[in-house]
Structure 1
């Protein structure tokens, strides 16, 4: 029997080391090469091999162990590192096979045929290809564009794993609260009946955990998942779950302290099938993929930990390899693939009212007078000033009554018109006139309402939403509203109908009604295309994501071919509205270019903020100069 020499790996914090001072033979020749290939560096002075655990590829330790064993050395470790390395090696073999399969199926989806028992909705060709890919790679990503029917594709995938493979019997969906209703109603559209569903949120969620055997569909939001992580793990252990992260960019954070990302990583190993879905999976950069794909892989064996993944992205060749992995396990339907019926954009140009124009001209003039002075200020002060001025111009063009809460800004900047001061006009604006855009929005809405149509009205400003809701309610029109202060969930004080979900559901059920909302609160997971085919834009911001996502609410897959979707964009002539329109057109072209790539990686465009803000401001200045002859 061959006598083996034990070699002990020690781990302290993030440092791995092996003392070779009593085994000098392993510091020379082929042994040195073996250790280097495993990622261990020799400190020649101390004769110690060491490595940073954050950069170490654990699976390579198994190769080192095998090679050392053949030469009479038994590599050991004081913790479970080698056990983890063996598991990582097994997982790598499985995942590499899935990656290769993913690449093959994307190139030739006809290699597989679909068998979806009890799934009654007819899939479109592009949806079939996605479902085939989902099934072939098992743990997968659907990065299809908004409005492509991602929920339908996921339910088709669930049908396969539940009824054909019989490897799952329940579905857990992690998503924003406002998506709960869509997952429930789309289930009926896909299977012909409502599921036995429980929402794991609020005080009633404990009933769902206790009586989990009664339910098939479970929905939970990210915050509750963090709070109930142990309960959710027990739930997943009790049954065979397919786990879906809808709007998976919500867990994109690369920080080790990111609660939502860490929560989904903790539950990943307990899911029999894992799937992520997002139209904008990487709103900032490639690092956004790490937590989403580490969830899919249920471990760090492919992408490495955060530190190693960052190192890989800094190397162009390795970065391409990483993105190849991302691409192999994901499928994307682009807007061009949808074959949607055309839509019509109606530009409605109006002139500002008399007082409105005086206020606008004054603020525009101030902007030009102050810009040179402010540009020499501290950077943060300048940026805040610039942002405030652009908001004021947008507010005035939309509705000067919006300035009421900021009236103190205009004390000492008085102009008088028929003996009335500027501050008086602002504080009592509705006593003197109604903004031209509000008047036109009401006019268009009333015409559409008389035709029995539902009308969606968009405004970036909450006061507009509240004031329009009051107008239509007083006029006897059923009016509903959604903005930040409308609660997501029912409470003792707020019934179901007054929540965001309740307002949207009531709008869908009520013909000749209006829904007034801002894009910030209705950007995702809401479909109105079956009930509403007309949207009025009282105002818009420079945020192109809000513009594109708002359009997608009523122009999506499932829209009948004979339906014309119409958008009414109301603009004041000679104002910031014209600049916003041109800038949004440029940004939309850029964003469509990103969205039409197989793996869309943006640079902040979809992250709830404006991009190219410097160019936006410069465009406003140039517009003022050209239209009013002001020297900038």
Structure 2
């Protein structure tokens, strides 16, 4: 007889009576079983331990090999059987709902949502919530601004009433913390007992994970980095007998790589939760292989993907064969996710005003012309360089071009991995850059101030977007000169709640307050384009400059165009651009790509968009021609 068990080191097979034949040993060797130094024992370890255990037992059963399971192995197989059954039930439920059948659980749940919750869900949210309830451990890939958090909270309230959940544990970027607290109170009608697990010393956090020394919270808020540091403590919290945790992975595209440290910590926590949900509006930002880890998080005990299918999806994605990868992916995940498209939200049509054409002032025009001429001259010798060097040079040159189109004073700053002397040894040009801030105001600043003045006279708040931090503070300085209160949100803005003075969350909440006097928010899309809702009090966004990052651009558009305010209120978008410059080219390219990307994303099965045109490459080719 064989003894088969699980230890901390992996699977151990003890051949007590020497019943393993050479063929059996060969098969086990294929599964990476090796002698472990103990008499008559072989062992296998690795990330797929549970899956390997199932393969071994199936093989032994098929070949009539008598074996006995140790307690750990027996428990693991039992959990896997339960998880496989749960996955199949979820798949069946998802297929039925998407085929138009109403689940039996829908009627009492919807009665609860419509009569017991103070916030009424919209039609698309009720459908999403019914799907989430019926398809346990599902994913919600609805577009940004659709109200995914309200859907989760409605399901959580119902499950807690049934005694199936006690706490909601949200892991995501810090920017989602305040919105989750607001949505909790708005949806459930009562403020949550909140435990924020970020921005405090680790020793203090450890005590908060212990239900014996700390009260169990209604809502836990945790960053991905904190979860990475505290994963073992989070698992203990999830497994405590006094608690049942609904684990929410918000902005889940942060953990798309299965071999990433954040992804591993999320996967570890997911195994201990009683229920899981993955939320993101952009599930496949780079390839369809990104989906594999998302669904392994929602189903950590038994992956929805057979190993051969997962490997083939990864291979086809690496080869850029996206259509082939999509054909293999879609039937696996289609029953396990819900998606609300932008067209389903019933929002008013946003108004993109014609770009405001601005004439450059004398010095910035001279600097711009100098840079363009130098780029064209230097590009003539690129043919003798290697591809990596050429790529770095092109990115650096285009960054200098964007800097002069934003604020010529930026030209004195250092650019990572770019040390080319683009401006040559012209001392007069160097002097113009060094003294620019004291000698000239960029033409777009003057036009921006006039635009803000008009909006203020109409009683409107406005968010101004720029991609350069120094430009943000330059714009704030000019607003303050006009006696206008304006605040900046960027990577430098403090986030810790213990910070004295302004923090990112305080600034945003103050801006959203109609009586605060703060009517101008100046922000960087990379720091403020995700998990932020400004739509209830702000209908105007001004783009002072643009980058080539279309995903961030689309995210920033959604800050003022969302469910719960934009159904009957028009959102206005203003763009400033210098005439007779390549800024018109950048605007046209990113507008076209944004339109195509929005079309790609606004379908039932979201596409990845790696095959969309490279704006940087296109702009550079036009520049040097």
Q: Work out the CA distance in 1 between the residues paired with 2:382 and 2:591.
A: 29
- Which range moved further: 284-293 or 462-471? 284-293
1 CA distance for matches of 2:475 and 2:591? 28
Structure 1: runs of 5 or more not aligned: 43-48, 416-420, 606-610, 626-631
Q: 1:599 to 1:366 in 2, by over 3 A?
A: same
Aligned with 1:172: secondary structure? strand
Match of residue 223 from structure 2: 221
Pairwise CA distance, 1:621: 3.8
What residue in structure 2 maps to residue 564 of structure 1? Answer: 570
Describe the SS at the equivalent of 1:533. strand
Q: 2:111 aligns with which of 108, 115, 121?
A: 115
Contiguous gaps of at least 5 residues in structure 2: 34-41, 317-322
SS class of match (1:590): helix
Deviation string for 1:56-76 (max 9, x for gaps)? 6543444444444xx5x4134
Structure 1 length-normalised TM: 0.84
The CA deviation at 1:144 is 0.5
Q: Give, in angstroms, the shift of residue 513 of structure 1.
A: 1.7
**How far apart are the structure 2 equivalents of 1:208 and 1:16?**
37
* SS, match of residue 213 in structure 1: coil
Q: 1:244 to 1:453 in 2, by over 3 A?
A: same
Match in the other structure for 2:37: none
Contact 1:198 1:205 in 2 (8 A): no
The residue number in structure 2 matching 1:438 is 445
Deviation (angstroms), 1:24: 8.9
Q: Deviations over 1:250-274 (max 9, x none)?
A: 122221xx22111122222321221
Displacement of 1:399: 1.9
Q: In the alignment, is residue 87 of structure 1 matched against residue 83 of structure 2?
A: no
Alpha carbon RMSD of aligned pairs, Å? 3.6
Aligned to 1:195: 192
CA distance in 1, matches of 2:326, 2:12: 26
**In structure 1, how many angstroms separate the alpha carbons of the residues matched to 2:325 and 2:357?**
52
Matching residue of 1:367: 375
Cα deviation for residue 116 of structure 1 reads: 3.0
State the secondary structure of the residue aligned to 2:538: coil
**What corresponds to 1:629 in structure 2?**
none
Q: 1:224 to 1:406 in 2, by over 3 A?
A: closer
CA distance in 2, matches of 1:36, 1:104: 40
Which of 544, 553, 558 in structure 1 is aligned with 2:550? 544
Alignment of 1:201-600 (within 5 A): 201-203=198-200, 205=205, 208-209=208-209, 212-213=214-215, 215-236=217-238, 237=240, 238-255=242-259, 258-303=260-305, 309-311=310-312, 313-314=314-315, 320=327, 322-346=329-353, 347-405=355-413, 409=421, 412-414=424-426, 421-491=428-498, 494-495=499-500, 497-509=501-513, 510-511=516-517, 513-600=519-606
Structure 1: distance between partners of 2:401 and 2:194: 47
Greater Cα offset, 431-440 or 477-486: 431-440
For the residue of structure 2 that corresponds to 1:180, the secondary structure is helix
Query: CA offsets per residue over residues 365-405 of structure 1, 9 Å max, x none?
Result: 11111112024212222111111111111111222122233
Give 3-state SS (helix, strand or coil) of 1:110's partner: coil
Contact 2:5–2:73 under 8 Å retained in 1: no
1:101-180 equivalence runs, <5 A? 101-108=93-100, 110-111=102-103, 112-113=106-107, 114-116=110-112, 118-163=116-161, 165-180=162-177
Deviation of 1:449 after TM superposition, in Å, equals 1.6
How far 1:457 sits from its partner (Å)? 0.5
User: In 2, are the aligned partners of 1:147 and 1:552 still within 8 Å (CA)?
Assistant: yes
- Equivalent position of 1:616 in the other structure: 616
Equivalent-residue separation in structure 2 for 1:90 and 1:26 (angstroms): 33
Q: Distance in 2 between matches of 1:286 and 1:243?
A: 24
TM-score with structure 2 length normalisation? 0.85
**3-state SS of 1:271 partner:** coil
Pick closer, same or farther for the CA change 1:104–1:367 going to 2, 3 Å. same
CA distance in 1, matches of 2:370, 2:176: 44
Does the residue aligned with 1:527 lie in a helix, a strand or coil? coil
Aligned residues: 591
SS in 2 for 1:397: helix
What are the Cα deviations for residues 27-57 of structure 1, in whole angstroms up to 9, with x where unaligned? 6xxx99xx98999799xxxxxx999977765
Q: Which has the larger radius of gyration?
A: 1
**1:260 match: secondary structure:** helix
When residues 193 and 9 of structure 1 are mapped into structure 2, their CA distance, relative to the original with a 3 A threshold, is closer
The offset of 1:201, in angstroms, is 2.0
